[in-house]
Amino acid sequence: MLASSLLTAAALAPSAMAQAAAPAPVATDAIAPVPQGKLPDAVIPSAYRLDLSVDPSRTRFGGHVEIDASLKAPSRYVYLHGNGLAMHKATVTVAGKTYEGQWKQVDPSGVALLTFDTELPAGPVTFAFDYDAPFHEGPDGMFHVKVGNDWYSWTQFESVDARAAYPSFDQPGYKQPFTVTLRTPKGLTAVSNAPETSLTHDGEMDVHHFAPTAPLPTYLLAMMVGPFAVVSGEAPPTPQRDHPLPMRIISTKENAGKLTFALDNSKQIVAHLENYFGQSFPYPKLDQITSPIMGGAMENAGADLYQDTLLVLDDHASTRQKREFGMVVGHELAHQWFGDLVTPKWWDDIWLNESFANWMGYRIGNEWRPDLNVAAGALEEGFAAMNTDALLAGRPIHQKIEKSSQVDAAFDSITYGKGGHVVAMIAAFMGDTKFRDGVRGYMAAHRYGNASSAEFFEAMAQASGDPRILPAMQSFTDQQGVPLLTFTGSNGNYTVTQSRYVRLGTKAPAQIWGVPMCVRRGDARVCQLLDTVSGTVQVGGTGALIPNAGGTGYYRFELPKAEWDALIAQSASLTGGEGQALSDSLRASFQAGRASATQMAQLARVMSKNPDSYAADAATVGMESLAASDMLDAKASAAYSAFMGTIFRPQLATLGFTPALGAYSGEAPETSQRRVQTVAQMVSTVKDKAVIATLVKAAHDWLAGDTKALDPSWYGVALRAYMGEHAKGEDGGLETAKALFARALATQDPLARPALLGSLASAGTPKVAGWILADAKDARLRATERLQLVAQVALNKTTRQIGYDFIRDNFDGMLKGGGGIFFATRLPSVISGMCSVKASGDIARDFGAKMAGTPGQLELERAIERVKDCGLLKEARGKQVSMEISKLK
């Protein structure tokens, strides 16, 4: 077939092929303007057939694609999508007659124009394309990676990268079945969304035939090829499903021994999700595939894709890794219903997909393993999002998207953290059963179709029976910012005033939310909707006022000093969510110029004893932010380190510590996580010599071949300690860094490799930083890993300026360097570690023009504002803060 010969020719001479395919100039004077976002509604696709030759060891792939569609009106011109495709032939068949067209990509975002010599009649049409395209090096489009001695390829199409793999009408409002055929070298495994129905042979190629899929948007299509390791099983029938569900975990060969945990536990997660949605898994099989360079995970219908570390684990894995497994698998499998079965009509409703799935991931992960305390992580993510949402540079959750270039920026902490927290808040206020019934009604009404935010809101309003729910939800989704609830009064009688939270030196416009506010004192709890500027609340009980009962409210609070102090004194007994809410609001009060550093220190003393690992970890966040922002002078820095030692040394003495393999296997997850957090503080903050020496010796022995010397839970902290100790030598740790780099490239272990590479920049010396930036290159080093090394240099306080200068001078190359679809939006956070008004101006000068019009533009504006706000706070409060911290005992 044409596909096989195209692949061979393309691999041998891709540049010549692309040149030969270039069409003659096309007159565009009568053509509608090039669409920057939605395509004109002139062509409605109804089915795709893809027949592709995919050899991951080649540089290009190619084949034949057909698209059945309906042409609404006669036309010579058709806009569609294709990004970087070398088009060899493009035709359309109408009423048995075939017309050859001229293909031209007319926009960098991947808009293409098909032009025909004669006008096409309206009605049913079939487009046909013969083309080839390059494999990408980073996790977007169809990408390939060499792992060990073998090549593999995967696809990652969300948001607008399907067009880089096949010609398409690439937008979520079009859902249609896909019939996929993949031609691969013999012996390779091929995976797509639907079950493989047969395997035939064509010369030296295996031909994998897949069943037609259910209706899907282009971004959910999946095609993976390689010599994969596969474990198979079935999820047993459930009350919602009367038949077994075929399931597989698929990964690179090196991970073959650690896939059973994911298979067995995913079965349980599927059952929990079916119970929540009240219906069976919506597709005929479930494959979950891993890639070493995938960042996070992707919900391809029936063929989810994950980063290796999310699925490659066993029963002895760390609490953190198991938590991530439960949350992310719960999130991605929730998408099979909420996102795949029912899909947004356009990208401005993508928040609904991701916010709901984020909430569900934590919820279902917690149902799967309550002992892991997965649910508290949702609140941690939500409170972290408030730091972004508090900026003036920002956006609402529900944002109008008019251009394709704006889509990727919507996948940020506002969509995931804030959105998930708002969903949790509304669900808690409505009641779990009513909220679930609203979700079920929404799913039933739009099954295998598309829906909008308005339709989701309508379903929630109907289920709740409360007309206030709709405007309350929209007040959080349709405007940016964090509500601040200021409480005055005492003894259970309070006046509450709402305003938009801002940091010191910033003014914000007046805003009103419909805030579902829940407060408690002791066992007495009151919930009410605050939808005016001020109101009153009365709550019985005794003890301190807890203004965010359960921590589910997406708001910050301000208290009189006496109420702050009473709440801090009670913080060791708060629930995990309430502890996180207290930590966030107290730090926010400090950043606004109100609370004191002494109050944050007292919170660290008391709440670090909270039995919830999330609350205990949050206890010291405020203090850590002081050190990270360079606000402390030398005397205060020493006092800070000593003070943190008074907190964590006794804890570690109680917990005990040995880094040996399996030393804490079978231990309660919260205890294990508390030890991990404590050891990290003892190394990075307290700089305890004994703990560092223990870790350095364990790392040395592990590197020397004693595999039992170091448990994977300690890889990161131990190797950083090892690198840090060797950085004290005359060469600044350069030879050690080179040795660790070589060791990293020699392994495919999904935990050891990133830990080894991640330790290099921790040397914090100019010699190592310079070597990383100039010479840490190797054919075995993946593009994503190279970019991470550069970022780590810039994130280290002692080499920050070296990294900043390198990124500034090499910006264009880094942006094109295979970092994946979200690299541009993440880059500004790497260069925003400074804390001064001057530095904010430097960032604007050095990167403003470079990032204008890219998905990272908003994130850069946020970074500039963060650096400026930090500088203003340091100027206003730095001396007083250093004085307070210096007095700590």
Interval 80-137: pLDDT, tens: 999 999 999 999 999 999 999 999 999 999 999 999 999 999 999 999 999 999 999 9
Cβ(249)–Cβ(409) below 8 Å: no
- pLDDT per residue as tens digits for the range 475-517: 999 999 999 999 999 999 999 999 999 999 999 889 999 999 9
Cβ(309)–Cβ(321) below 8 Å: yes
- pLDDT per residue as tens digits for the range 128-176: 999 999 999 999 999 999 999 999 999 999 999 999 999 999 999 999 9
* Tokens 């997965």 belong to residue: 374
Query: Number of H helices and number of E strands within the chain?
Result: 30, 27
2 has pLDDT over 80:
no
The predicted pLDDT at position 818 comes to 66
563 has pLDDT over 80:
yes
Residue 361: in which H helix or E strand, if any?
Answer: helix 350-368
- pLDDT per residue as tens digits for the range 715-754: 999 999 999 999 999 999 999 999 999 999 999 999 999 9
Cβ(554)–Cβ(387) below 8 Å: no
* Tokens 């892991």 belong to residue: 372
Return the percentage of the chain with pLDDT > 70, whole number. 96
- pLDDT per residue as tens digits for the range 115-131: 999 999 999 999 999 99
Cβ(384)–Cβ(211) below 8 Å: no
Q: Which amino acid is at 287?
A: D
The predicted pLDDT at position 17 comes to 29
Q: Give the whole-angstrom CA distance, residue 359 versus residue 354.
A: 9
Return the DSSP state at 35: P
Q: Give the whole-angstrom CA distance, residue 45 versus residue 66.
A: 10
Q: Give the whole-angstrom CA distance, residue 873 versus residue 835.
A: 9
Instruction: Indicate the pTM of the whole model.
Output: 0.93
The predicted pLDDT at position 601 comes to 97
The predicted pLDDT at position 630 comes to 86
The predicted pLDDT at position 19 comes to 33
Q: Give the whole-angstrom CA distance, residue 84 versus residue 604.
A: 54
- pLDDT per residue as tens digits for the range 629-655: 889 999 999 999 999 999 999 999 999
43-53 and 178-185 as β-strands: parallel, antiparallel, unpaired? parallel
DSSP lists the bridge partners of residue 288 as 249, 304
Q: Give the whole-angstrom CA distance, residue 326 versus residue 592.
A: 36
Cβ(218)–Cβ(174) below 8 Å: yes
Residue 30: pLDDT band with limits 50, 70, 90: low
Cβ(293)–Cβ(145) below 8 Å: yes
Cβ(702)–Cβ(714) below 8 Å: no
Diameter of the chain measured on Cα atoms: 87
Q: What 3-state DSSP class applies to 619?
A: helix
Residue 468: pLDDT band with limits 50, 70, 90: confident
- pLDDT per residue as tens digits for the range 698-722: 999 999 999 999 999 999 999 999 9
Residue 822: pLDDT band with limits 50, 70, 90: low
First to last CA, the chain: 78
Q: Which amino acid is at 861?
A: E
Q: How much is the average pLDDT of 539-565?
A: 96
Residues 6+ apart with CB under 8 A from 624: 685
The predicted pLDDT at position 228 comes to 98
Is 516 buried (19+), middle (13-18) or exposed (0-12) by CB count in 10 A? Answer: buried
- pLDDT per residue as tens digits for the range 757-771: 999 999 999 999 999
Lowest mean pLDDT among 26-35, 409-418, 448-457, 684-693: 26-35
Q: Give the whole-angstrom CA distance, residue 189 versus residue 636.
A: 59
853 has pLDDT over 90:
no
Cα 651 to Cα 19, 287, 655, 703: the distances in Å are: 67, 43, 6, 29
Residue 18: pLDDT band with limits 50, 70, 90: very low
- pLDDT per residue as tens digits for the range 568-583: 999 999 999 999 999 9
Cβ(388)–Cβ(414) below 8 Å: yes
| Average per-residue pLDDT for the chain | 93
The predicted pLDDT at position 11 comes to 30
The radius of gyration of the chain from alpha carbons, rounded to an integer in Å, stands at 28
